[in-house]
Amino acid sequence: MTHNQLTVIDAHCHIYPEKIAAKAVAGTDRFYGTVAAGAGTVDDLLLMGHAAGIDRYVVHSVATTPKQVESINEFIAAAVAEHPDRFIGLGALHPDCPDMAAEVQRIRRLGLRGVKLHPDIQDFPCDDPRCHTIYSLCEQEGLPILMHTGDKRYDNSNPNRLLPVLRAYPGLTVVGAHLGGYSVWEQAVELLAGMPNLYVDCSSCFWKLSPEEARQYIRAYGADRVLFGSDYPMWNVGRELAFLQDLDLTEEELRGILSLNAEKVFLGL
pLDDT > 60? residue 213 = yes
Each residue's pLDDT tens digit, 118-168: 999 999 999 999 999 999 999 999 999 999 999 999 999 999 999 999 999
pLDDT band for 6, please (50, 70, 90 cuts).
Answer: confident
Each residue's pLDDT tens digit, 164-202: 999 999 999 999 999 999 999 999 999 999 999 999 999
Beta pairing, strands 115-117 & 56-60: unpaired
pLDDT of residue 4: 54
pLDDT of residue 2: 43
Write a three-state SS string for the chain.
Answer: CCECCECCEEEEEECCCHHHHHHHHHHHHHHHCCCCCCCCCHHHHHHHHHHHCCCEEEEECCCCCCCHHHHHHHHHHHHHHHCCCCEEECEECCCCCCCHHHHHHHHHHCCCCCEEECHHHHCCCCCCHHHHHHHHHHHHHCCCEEECCCCCCCCCCCHHHHHHHHHHCCCCCEEECCCCCCCCHHHHHHHHCCCCCEEEECCCCCCCCCHHHHHHHHHHHCHHHEECCCCECCCCHHHHHHHHHCCCCCHHHHHHHHHHHHHHHHHCC
pLDDT > 60? residue 48 = yes
Q: Residue 176: CB partners within 8 Å, gap ≥ 6?
A: 147, 149, 150, 162, 188, 192, 198, 199, 200, 201
Pairwise pLDDT comparison (5 vs 112), residue with the higher score: 112
pLDDT of residue 3: 47
State how far the Cα of 90 lies from the Cα of 110, in Å rounded to an integer.
Answer: 10
pLDDT > 90? residue 243 = yes
